[in-house]
Each structure stands twice: as structure tokens, then as C-alpha cells.
A and B are shown apart, each in its own frame.
Chain A
Amino acid sequence: MPPGFWCVRIREPSIARAAQPAQYVAIDLPGPFSLRLPLGVWTAEADEFSVLFQEWGQRTARLARLAVGESISVIGPLGNAFPIPAAGARAVIVAGGLGVAAFWLLAKELRAARVDTTIILGARSNAHIIGAKELATFGHALEICTDDGSAGFHGNVIARLATLQAPDIMYGCGPPAMLRALCNHANDRGIECQVSLEETFACSMGTCWGCVVPVRRGCKQGTQYPKAPGEKRDHDFARVCADGTVFAASDLHWPA
């Protein structure tokens, strides 16, 4: 892993066996009060699953410094899952940086479903490419893109995507700017695109409404509440933690 990035393996059979592609867990760390840390389930085999994260604050620092064998409280698997197309379909997975964490389970499912899949991994540099080795085991086509050209395609994942033949479905997870560009790319071409979003969560359970994302009015994952009188915003909101984290690009309402 690049410096400051971590992969932690957690033994909990009920989560490892049930986790679906793009699902996450909410981790409580020992110590003074903090909200649970939501992290996507990366690998899941037998009784263990793993999570990928970058150390950037108090919670991730605590997680990175747990001793081997220490117990923590984990709720999961949480959130919805990526849909899987029929056998023979062509899929492209687009991962930016740590967004790759959403895709080990998906790559495995797409392999099992006999979906012709290309995975595009993007990062700042070759040293920041995470997960390529683990994903390579599924035998999908794997493309690397780096901003500095130190490995693979010199440029971002969207630029690389534009050179490929249009697939039946695209999957995305990564920084907001990348996801927005991916959704625009898909919507402009009428390609189905499913993205897993990240937000700050308080409850991770769907009770507090702190992690909403603007969605098209009428979208199944939205509140379906009637429009408020005098409301100027023409979108609805959905909870990233409980209605997502996976949303169709055609349902997301990106701010202007």
C-alpha cells in the first residue's frame, strides 16, 4: 500500500458471507466519542472481510493503530448493492483512487455472471494504484491510468473511457469530480451507469437524514414527499447511507 493507506482485515463471518458489491460497514473505534467510520467492504472470503482506507483523521488513525486480534464493534453489511447484468453483457468499472474499494466483490460477481468486464483504475501516480493485484485474479481486462503518466494511460479515467467502445453498463466509485464526469459521459450517451457515493454519515442507518444527495423527483430512492409550497429546488433527496450508496447516474441531480 502507498504510505498513509491501509488495508485492515476483520473477522466476522456474518458480514464476510453476506456482503454484496458496494455494501459497507460502520466501524466504532475505542476511545472518546466519535461517529462510526463507514468503509466499503473490499475483499470478503470465508470468515474475513477487509476494508481500505487512507489515514486522514482521528478515526482512521485509531483504526490504523489497532493491535492484531483486538476487538471492535462493526455494523454491516449496510447499503444497497450494484445490479448485475445478464450473461454476455459488456461492463466497464471505473475506479478513482480509493474508490476501488467498491469493486472487488463486483468484479467477482461479474466474473461469476459471465459479464465481459473491463476495469479502469485511476490514481495520481503508479505508487498510488491500489488493488490492481487483487482485482487481476478475476481475469478481467485491467487498465491503469495515472495523472502523471508514471504507469499505463497518461490521463484520467474518463479520457481513457472515451477511447473504449460503449459498454452496456458502467460502474463508478471515486472522487466527486470523477463521478460527475462519469455520470455526464454515461447520460450523454444513454449508457446505464451505477455509481457508489461517499458522504459523511452520522447514523449510517437511515435515521438522521444527514447524508442526503439530490436526486431526480420521482426517483425510487428519493423521499417521494410532496413538493413543498414555494420550494425552488426541483430535485428530491435520498439518503446515501440507506437508500444508496449506489445510485443510477440518470437519477442523480448534480448541482449546477
Chain B
Amino acid sequence: MNNDAALDLRLRIGTAVLKNPVIAASGCYNRGAEYARIVDVSQYGAITLKSVTREPRLGNDMPRIMSTPGGMLNAIGLQGPGIEHFIAHEAPKLSTIPTAIIASVAGFSVDEFVYVAGRMDGLPNVVALELDVSCPNVDREGRCFAAEPETIAAVVSAVKARVSLPVIAKLMPNVADLKPIAKAAQEAGADALSLINAVRGMVIDVKAARPLLANVSGGLSGPAIRPIAVHAVWETASAVTIPLIGMGGIETGADALEFLFAGASGIAIGTANFRNPLVHIEVLAAIRQAMLERRFDTVSSLIGLARPDAHAVRAKE
């Protein structure tokens, strides 16, 4: 009865259904073509594309990355082709990707988000849009859309009015309280939330006495930020009812389970792909194993298992 083949791993994001809840995080996997040379990328439930902006962007000068204890710092600067070049040269290749695609949209104004999201709507294989409202590397007068409830609501509602695809808002951890921001995104119509984006940080080259990254600050990712991310999911799960996609330093199946148990419905893997391109296959196997051990048929039964309400339910059984 409870055998491996019968497990229901599907993740629903609005009207989209992913075959499993393990997602490649934006900015780390391109379209999956590079990793497809060495691993089975089709085992990802979805691949999130690198964020696309309206205009082409050359990105930041070098150095853009730095290895840090338990992770890495990056400031790529949204280098990219711009939406028109993307539509002409990269979108035709999307139909060859052997799994679902989440297209990531970045912008510097509400209009820009709406325009790029509209152009992404209906591309082959694209089942949802993720709004990179929290990219910490681009200086929008020091502020991001994901920093305040009003601004994230404005972007989400404007994009929702324009597109038919489900919309995921990606939150950033550099805020005093995630809950009102998450609530505002949900009320504006977001179908899911991704959290967390990279944590802002910097490294100083002490020999040269200047910031190491050309951009001065960057986004910290990798296992160093995992406890921050798990806590962000834990906090946010109490504030909203839409699915959460947890990410931040997931390297193993146990790491992924932490996020699910904290209240995430899906998880995404970024930096860990660089070290272990098989990570998604290992994480998926661990999720199946956790379901089998608990005699769960659906992956959604794993969601929130560590939460106090789940303990109360278990105590009654």
C-alpha cells in the first residue's frame, strides 16, 4: 500500500502542479543545460531561471564572488540579456528542459515587473513566475520592494492583474519583521512565497583595506544562512496560508526536512549544486524516505511537523 511508487510528491502553487517539491533556486542553475551534461536535472520538480530584467544588464565588475565560512558571497548584479533578447534567443530553448520552469522576474519599477512578467506569461514549460523583489545586490536607492508591505503589495497586485500564471514573491531576510510583508504579498494575490533570498553581507580585504567585492556588498548563501532561513519559514508560516518555498543553505535531505517541518511546502536548492550536483536527487530520496518511515502517502503530510500545533495534534492521537 505505502510503497515508493504510490507516493504523492506533488507541490501545488496556485494552478501549477510540480511533480515534486524540490526546486532549483534562481541564479544558480541557468536553464539546467550545463548541469544536464553531468546529472539528471529532470528530477528537479522545477528549475527557476536566472532573473530577467527589461533591459540588458552587463552586471557588476569583478570580483563578484568570495568564499566565506560555510558559504559564499555573491554580487553578480543581475547580468542578463534583457527580456527582448531573452524572448528571441533563450525562450525557444525552454521547451527542451525536462522539467517545469519557474521564470524569475526582476525590476526597478512596478511597470518593469509588469512588463517583463507579461512577456514571460505563456512561454513554453513556464508554469509560474517568481518575482525577485528582494535581490539585495541592486541599489534602488538602498531599498527593495520586499522591504515594506506597501511596495511588495503594489508589485504583486500589478503583476497578478497582468498575468495568468501563478505568482511567487521572493522575500528577503533583511527586514525587522517578515510577517506583515508576507501577509501583504498574500493579500495582494501572491500564490506562494519563496524565502529566503541571500542575506546581505560583505568582506573586507584587509591587505588592501577596501571592500573585496566590486559592488561592496553581496548576498550571503550556503549552509551559513540555513538557521536564518528555517526561522524565517517558521515565522512566516504562522502569518500566511499560501505555500512557502523554503531555501537557504540546503545541502542534505535532513536540511530539506527542517524547512518542511518548519512549515514550507516546497524547498529550493542553490549554492549546494555547485559543490554537489547530485544534491537534488539525494534530497528527493530523503523526502521519500521520510514519508515511507512515517507511512505518509502525500508529501504535504510532512509540512509543519515541528510546529507546536502539529505536536498538539500528535499528542491527541
Q: Scoring B residues 53 to 82 as 1 if CB is less than 8 Å from chain A, else 0, what string do you get?
A: 001111100111111001110101001111
| Highest count of chain B CB atoms <10 Å: which of A73, A203, A206, A210 | A210
Q: Which residues of A contact B55 (CB under 8 A)?
A: 228-229
Question: Would A33 and B81 count as touching, CB distance under 8 A?
Answer: no
Question: Would A210 and B64 count as touching, CB distance under 8 A?
Answer: yes
Question: Would A200 and B66 count as touching, CB distance under 8 A?
Answer: yes
Q: Which residues of A contact B67 (CB under 8 A)?
A: 34-35, 200
The smallest beta-carbon distance between B72 and chain A, in angstroms, is 6
Asked whether any CB of chain B lies closer than 8 Å to the CB of A163, the reply is no
Asked whether any CB of chain A lies closer than 8 Å to the CB of B251, the reply is yes
The 8 closest A-B pairs by CB, nearest first: A210-B65, A205-B34, A225-B81, A207-B30, A225-B56, A228-B56, A203-B274, A226-B56
Q: Which residues of A contact B6 (CB under 8 A)?
A: none
Bound Cα distance A146, B271 (Å): 41
Name B18-48 residues within 8 Å CB distance of A: 27-30, 34-35, 38
Given known pairs A208-B28, A212-B62, A223-B79, the reply for A28 and B56 (CB within 8 Å) is no
Bound Cα distance A229, B74 (Å): 24
On B, residues with C-beta under 8 Å from A are: 27-30, 34-35, 38, 50, 55-59, 62-67, 70-72, 74, 76, 79-82, 84-85, 222-224, 251, 271, 273-277
Question: Would A206 and B34 count as touching, CB distance under 8 A?
Answer: yes
Question: Would B275 and A34 count as touching, CB distance under 8 A?
Answer: yes
Question: Would B222 and A33 count as touching, CB distance under 8 A?
Answer: yes
Asked whether any CB of chain B lies closer than 8 Å to the CB of A242, the reply is yes
The smallest beta-carbon distance between B264 and chain A, in angstroms, is 21
Question: Would B65 and A33 count as touching, CB distance under 8 A?
Answer: no
Asked whether any CB of chain B lies closer than 8 Å to the CB of A75, the reply is yes
Question: Would A237 and B79 count as touching, CB distance under 8 A?
Answer: yes
Report which of A34, A206, A226, A237 forms a contact with B81, defined as CB distance below 8 A. A226
Say which size band chain A's interface belongs to: 20 to 34
Given known pairs A202-B72, A226-B82, the reply for A208 and B58 (CB within 8 Å) is no
Bound Cα distance A205, B66 (Å): 17
Asked whether any CB of chain B lies closer than 8 Å to the CB of A213, the reply is yes
Given known pairs A212-B62, A228-B56, the reply for A207 and B35 (CB within 8 Å) is yes
Name A218-255 residues within 8 Å CB distance of B: 223, 225-229, 231, 233, 236-237, 242
Question: Would B58 and A204 count as touching, CB distance under 8 A?
Answer: no
The smallest beta-carbon distance between A197 and chain B, in angstroms, is 11
Asked whether any CB of chain B lies closer than 8 Å to the CB of A209, the reply is yes
28 contacts between A and B (CB under 8 A): A33-B70, A33-B223, A33-B275, A34-B67, A200-B65, A200-B67, A202-B271, A203-B273, A203-B274, A204-B274, A206-B34, A207-B30, A207-B273, A208-B27, A208-B65, A208-B74, A208-B76, A208-B274, A211-B64, A211-B65, A213-B62, A223-B79, A225-B80, A228-B55, A228-B57, A228-B58, A231-B58, A237-B59
Report which of B28, B57, B64, B70 forms a contact with A207, defined as CB distance below 8 A. B28
Bound Cα distance A210, B84 (Å): 23
The smallest beta-carbon distance between A255 and chain B, in angstroms, is 8
Residue of B nearest to A199 (CB): B62
Given known pairs A207-B30, A226-B56, the reply for A28 and B65 (CB within 8 Å) is no
Q: Which residues of A contact B71 (CB under 8 A)?
A: 33
Q: Which residues of B contact A213 (CB under 8 A)?
A: 62
Q: Which residues of A contact B28 (CB under 8 A)?
A: 203, 207-208
Residue of A nearest to B86 (CB): A225
Bound Cα distance A143, B241 (Å): 71
Bound Cα distance A226, B85 (Å): 8
Q: Which residues of B contact A242 (CB under 8 A)?
A: 34
| Highest count of chain B CB atoms <10 Å: which of A28, A208, A228 | A208
Residue of B nearest to A231 (CB): B58
Question: Would A225 and B277 count as touching, CB distance under 8 A?
Answer: no
Q: Which residues of A contact B80 (CB under 8 A)?
A: 225
Asked whether any CB of chain B lies closer than 8 Å to the CB of A2, the reply is no
With A35-B72, A200-B63, A226-B85 known, 11 other A-B pairs at CB within 8 A are: A33-B71, A33-B275, A35-B67, A199-B62, A200-B66, A204-B274, A205-B34, A205-B277, A207-B35, A208-B76, A225-B80
Bound Cα distance A33, B224 (Å): 9
Q: Which residues of B contact A209 (CB under 8 A)?
A: 50, 59, 64, 76, 79
Q: Scoring A residues 185 to 197 as 1 if CB is less than 8 Å from chain B, else 0, what string do you get?
A: 0000000000000
Residue of A nearest to B70 (CB): A33
Asked whether any CB of chain B lies closer than 8 Å to the CB of A32, the reply is yes
The smallest beta-carbon distance between B290 and chain A, in angstroms, is 23
